[in-house]
Structure 1
Amino acid sequence: MTKPTRRTSILFHIVEFNEGGIESSLLQWLKIYDRREFDVSLSVMFTSPAFENHYRALIPADVKLEMLVDRPWLNYFQARRHANRLGKPGRVARDVFNSLAVRPYVTRRLAALARQHDVIVDFDMSLRRWAGRFDIAWLGVNHFSFDARLGHRPRKAKRLSRQYARYDAVVALNEQMAAEATSMFGDTLQRLFVLPNAIDVDGIRASANAAEAPRAPCSAPYIVSVARLDEYQKDHGTLLQAYAQLLREVDVPEHLVIAGDGGSRQALQARAAELGIAARVHFVGHVDNPHALVAGASLFVLSSRFEGMPMGLLEALTHGKAIVATDCPTGPRDILDNGRFGILVPVSDTAAMTEAFRNLLTVETLRHELSSKAFARAQYYGIEESNKRFAACVATARGARGEPAIATAAR
């Protein structure tokens, strides 16, 4: 009789849930990892309106949920922040309160959870102060370009370098990001892994056919963008200018559908009106399931100034879309393999984006060629390949601590 194998117990962690790409990628990670090999739990530092109203229901049923700050009085300042009632004195009080009350409480909770798990995956590196403690393997996941965030902040980069060195391994989402980490931190990191965001290809394609999935707000064909409305990073302003220029140069039927919400929404709507394109630009707000919108589009566009490993591009490939993306740090160049699977344009370059739109919308053979390649590219980020990469990363981090390997289940 074969002795049952013990699964590796993984604790994923995130500080809180808001409306962003990290949250979406975390949900994919939680869904796709092989339950024959991994027993998966999730810890969340603080609750939030987005978590209670949306994300809590999306966590897989077999994932054990741990709220680290699980006492209402410890959430007092966070609740005021989410209600926009904190203010500068409140922020000062919050910082003092966190040092005196929240951190000691979290330390005790983490110590208890560490005894129940084999690995902590700090998915947003919000546990940097605790990394390396409790006699357990730690993986820290970085989601954004190191250069874009820290290249002009050497003092912060030096401080983070010391904190990142506490992790048994730091995970970069793509090769470009890993190269930035090597250049910025040198040999201070114990180990550096490239572990791309994971996707459930079949699940994503099925989501486009769900009865509740929102459809396009227009009957015309359309270009689609799915991203938070945050001009500092996402640069929808250039997208609007390029689309307006396209309409001046070429008679195309495509409208522009922008799915996402954020602090820049009113300014972007005003800009669309100034450009005279408001009637053909549709701001649909945050969409829980954008897959039908993406699947029905003529092409997908990402206009960001910087990224990490944008889930939107992976999902667009899964739906077989022709793609226009900025060649920003980091993610698009790796995902699109230097332009083999989509058109890369310089960041904030209106003319280049306009030309890419024109080529894809007027040269049907080019659009179909990229569409036919897209789905095959998505498989690289699918369940089977992602599980192999994650298992190797975990085994290496644990082995470096001298921990015995846990036999994996037969496939």
Structure 2
Amino acid sequence: MRIAFIIAALGAGGAERVISLIANDWATKGWQVTVIAFDDPADPVYHHFHPSIELVRLNLSPASGRRLSGVWLNLQRVFALRRSLKRLRPDVAVSFLTKINVLALLASRGMTLPVIVSERNNPRRQAAHPLWAQILAKLYPRADAIVMQTRDSLECLPPSARARAHVIPNPVSAPATAAPGDRPTVIAGVGRLIPQKGFDLLIRAFATVAGQFPQWNLVIWGEGDERTRLQALTDEHGLQGRISLPGVSPTPGSWIEETGVFILSSRFEGFPNVLAEAMAAGLPVIAFDCAYGPHDLIIPGQNGILVPPEDVALLATAMTDLLSRRQLQAQLGSAAKMDTRRFLPDEIIGRWTALVELFQAGTASTNPNKL
């Protein structure tokens, strides 16, 4: 089987992590796997890929937000991707993330190549030009299969595309952590420094409780355009010595062993990989009950704490409750570790394998809407 994955870049994101896990598994099966990305070949590859996997990097990352240059860039991306697909001749193409899915469907138009697109976020909450939504509604019915991460997220799809949808959550694996009693007094937030991740809300909540818990600090791992704003917010609350933004963690998951409590402060998600990883590692967690994902992972009071979306006051209350009760931290962390076994890689990758094998080598697309 020849497989081509299509992704924006090979950095530290959750979609990239999932692709690396699936691609590596298929490469060990002897499948011919290629990962096509639009980033600069000089950019570092954050996740490990099996030596047999070919990485094709098209060097067509966004250079500016201006509309005309953006249109021209996306046309270049479509043609470059189409050339790569014709050269590689995969049996199946699998694309990740909304805009990349659109580009993949445009690039494969008129080809007999089966295309599986995978939504990794909440399309209704992502900032995008309205034209993208219109294109998505027209193109998604042309996909041979659409992978969503939760059942709730199916409502984001155009009605004509839902018959081809499959719900496959993310595979979750995590390194072992220290015993509960030995955990550092550090609260962690992890993700790109962008408004979606709600780190401004997390900083405000921490500022509310910081005086009650002088031994606890907040570390926000990640990089992005919001760094200056988040640092200014930290300074505004006088918490320069208590809140740090060290950038991307040196290796995948290395932040876990430096963490005592994990908080997901996102305004919206698709399926929060980082929350699942924290739970799989046995960390006690608090999360905003945003759409989508947290309530698929957390059973309130049993394996974590859910807070109404974007409610800073209630987040601070939940933090106070959890930080003041070591026994509760241990109880929630232990239950979380047990419960996330249902997302172990063997189980989830097996579902991906079964889906892709529906399109056996040499089988053309079966979608009558495609051509």
- After TM superposition, the score normalised by the length of structure 2 is 0.85
CA distance change for structure 1 residues 102 and 325 in 2, over 3 Å: closer, same or farther? closer
CA distance change for structure 1 residues 403 and 290 in 2, over 3 Å: closer, same or farther? closer
Is 1:312 paired with 2:274? yes
**Pair member with larger Rg:** 1
Q: Give the equivalent residue in structure 1 for 2:143.
A: 167
Shift of residue 254, structure 1, vs aligned partner: 1.1
Q: Give the equivalent residue in structure 2 for 1:135.
A: 112
Contact 2:189 2:220 survives alignment (8 Å): yes
Q: Return the alpha-carbon distance in structure 2 between the equivalents of residues 56 and 325 of structure 1.
A: 26
Q: Percent same amino acid at aligned positions?
A: 26
Q: Give the equivalent residue in structure 1 for 2:199.
A: 236
Give the letter for the 1:194 counterpart.
V
Shift of residue 142, structure 1, vs aligned partner: 0.6
Is 1:119 paired with 2:86? no
Contact 2:27 2:53 survives alignment (8 Å): no
Shift of residue 191, structure 1, vs aligned partner: 0.4
Q: Give the equivalent residue in structure 1 for 2:123.
A: 146
Shift of residue 304, structure 1, vs aligned partner: 0.6
**Structure 2 unaligned regions, length at least 5:** 367-371
Aligned residue runs from structure 1 range 75-114, under 5 A? 75=59, 78=60, 81=63, 88=66, 92=68, 95-96=71-72, 99=75, 103-114=78-89
Q: Give the equivalent residue in structure 2 for 1:14.
A: 7
Shift of residue 308, structure 1, vs aligned partner: 1.2
Contact 2:267 2:309 survives alignment (8 Å): yes
Q: Return the alpha-carbon distance in structure 2 between the equivalents of residues 387 and 55 of structure 1.
A: 22
Shift of residue 337, structure 1, vs aligned partner: 4.5
Shift of residue 292, structure 1, vs aligned partner: 3.6
Secondary structure of the corresponding residue to residue 283 of structure 2: coil
Q: Return the alpha-carbon distance in structure 1 between the equivalents of residues 321 and 29 of structure 2.
A: 47
Shift of residue 56, structure 1, vs aligned partner: 6.8
2:219 corresponds to which of 240, 248, 257? 257
Q: State the superposition RMSD in angstroms.
A: 3.1
CA distance change for structure 1 residues 243 and 398 in 2, over 3 Å: closer, same or farther? same
CA distance change for structure 1 residues 137 and 220 in 2, over 3 Å: closer, same or farther? closer
**Structure 1 unaligned regions, length at least 5:** 1-7, 70-74, 210-218, 405-411
Secondary structure of the corresponding residue to residue 278 of structure 1: coil
Is 1:384 paired with 2:331? no
Shift of residue 16, structure 1, vs aligned partner: 2.9
Aligned residue runs from structure 1 range 212-361, under 5 A? 221-230=185-194, 232-248=195-211, 250-289=212-251, 291-337=253-299, 340-361=302-323
CA distance change for structure 1 residues 397 and 327 in 2, over 3 Å: closer, same or farther? farther
Q: Deviations over 1:59-102 (max 9, x none)?
A: 221212234x4xxxxx5xx4792xxxx585xx635744764x66
Give the letter for the 2:164 counterpart.
R
Q: Give the equivalent residue in structure 2 for 1:205.
A: 175
Q: Return the alpha-carbon distance in structure 2 between the equivalents of residues 358 and 94 of structure 1.
A: 46
Q: Return the alpha-carbon distance in structure 1 between the equivalents of residues 188 and 116 of structure 2.
A: 35
Contact 2:20 2:47 survives alignment (8 Å): no
Give the letter for the 1:351 counterpart.
A
CA distance change for structure 1 residues 167 and 288 in 2, over 3 Å: closer, same or farther? farther
Is 1:372 paired with 2:334? yes
Q: Return the alpha-carbon distance in structure 2 between the equivalents of residues 381 and 166 of structure 1.
A: 29
Q: Give the equivalent residue in structure 1 for 2:369.
A: none
Secondary structure of the corresponding residue to residue 171 of structure 1: strand
Q: Give the equivalent residue in structure 2 for 1:23.
A: 16
Contact 1:33 1:383 survives alignment (8 Å): no
Give the letter for the 2:175 counterpart.
R
CA distance change for structure 1 residues 54 and 110 in 2, over 3 Å: closer, same or farther? same
Shift of residue 221, structure 1, vs aligned partner: 1.6
Shift of residue 21, structure 1, vs aligned partner: 2.9
Secondary structure of the corresponding residue to residue 238 of structure 1: helix
Secondary structure of the corresponding residue to residue 41 of structure 1: strand
Q: Return the alpha-carbon distance in structure 2 between the equivalents of residues 394 and 108 of structure 1.
A: 22
Secondary structure of the corresponding residue to residue 277 of structure 1: coil
Give the letter for the 1:239 counterpart.
L
Secondary structure of the corresponding residue to residue 143 of structure 1: coil
Secondary structure of the corresponding residue to residue 128 of structure 1: helix
Contact 1:34 1:387 survives alignment (8 Å): no
Shift of residue 286, structure 1, vs aligned partner: 1.6
Q: Return the alpha-carbon distance in structure 1 between the equivalents of residues 307 and 333 of structure 2.
A: 18
Q: Deviations over 1:137-173 (max 9, x none)?
A: 21001111133238x9876434311111111011101
Contact 1:229 1:261 survives alignment (8 Å): yes
Q: Return the alpha-carbon distance in structure 2 between the equivalents of residues 159 and 403 of structure 1.
A: 20
CA distance change for structure 1 residues 87 and 273 in 2, over 3 Å: closer, same or farther? closer
CA distance change for structure 1 residues 158 and 87 in 2, over 3 Å: closer, same or farther? closer
Secondary structure of the corresponding residue to residue 193 of structure 1: strand
Contact 1:175 1:334 survives alignment (8 Å): no
Q: Return the alpha-carbon distance in structure 2 between the equivalents of residues 166 and 386 of structure 1.
A: 25
Q: How many residues align?
A: 357
CA distance change for structure 1 residues 253 and 341 in 2, over 3 Å: closer, same or farther? same
CA distance change for structure 1 residues 87 and 261 in 2, over 3 Å: closer, same or farther? closer
Q: Deviations over 1:258-278 (max 9, x none)?
A: 111111112111111211222
Shift of residue 186, structure 1, vs aligned partner: 1.2
Give the letter for the 2:225 counterpart.
G
